[in-house]
Amino acid sequence: FGSSCQVTRSLALAMSLIRAASGRSLLRRPAVASAVRTAYGGPPPSWYPPPPPPEFDENGEPKKYPLMQPIYEHGYTFEQWALIPAGVYHTVYRGEFAQDWPRWNAAIAQHPVWVAVPMLVTAMLIIANIFQNAGSIGIRPKRYTPEWVEATKERERCENTNPVTRYLDRRRAERGYNLIIANYLPWHPYVFWMANTHDYEAAEANEARRAAAAGGGADEEEEE
């Protein structure tokens, strides 16, 4: 019996020495490396100051504080709710209301993403195209007048330099059906302000050339 008691005392002494050594090793560690522990395993409790005392107007009614976020009244009343991740294991149920958006933003936000994104991209492309061609508004280049277009086609036929035009100039029965989009859709950005625009200098030159050719032919007939 005495030997067993002696073994128990030695074991208790060894355990106490181990606890003391571990306590000293923990005390030697820096404060940053040691984790803060509480009874329930959560973060340390925090105490916040109490709210300020209630304020009242002169007539005794509770004072109303204005909102820091404006509320818009534009007729849109949609609500969009979604679960948003917060950390690793939690989520937040977040709602967006139409009254929180300005008029134009609410007009876009009322549609789903797959509808709003193509609308925005199309609008941006149109605006970019307008800004790109804003410097050409009112300009009427001669190369897009009917006289120049016809002369260009004739030169390409003579020089045989445009195989596409040579293909499209064949008879319809030979080449088959082929929709010439340029005959129906605008193919240059000046089409909106070039209605009834002609190259009058080229027309006068053609008239003078025809008159000269007719006069030369008449002189030859008189000489004969």
Residue 40: what pLDDT? Answer: 55
* pLDDT (tens digit per residue) in 161-216: 766 666 666 655 566 676 777 778 887 888 888 888 888 887 788 888 888 888 76
The rounded distance, in Å, linking the Cα atoms of 59 and 186 is 72
Q: Write down the pTM of the prediction.
A: 0.43
* pLDDT (tens digit per residue) in 2-14: 455 565 666 667 6
* pLDDT (tens digit per residue) in 53-107: 889 999 989 988 877 788 899 999 999 898 988 888 889 888 889 999 999 899 9
pLDDT of residue 26 exceeding 50, the answer is no
- Amino acid residing at 25: S
* pLDDT (tens digit per residue) in 117-156: 999 999 999 999 888 888 888 888 888 888 888 888 788 7
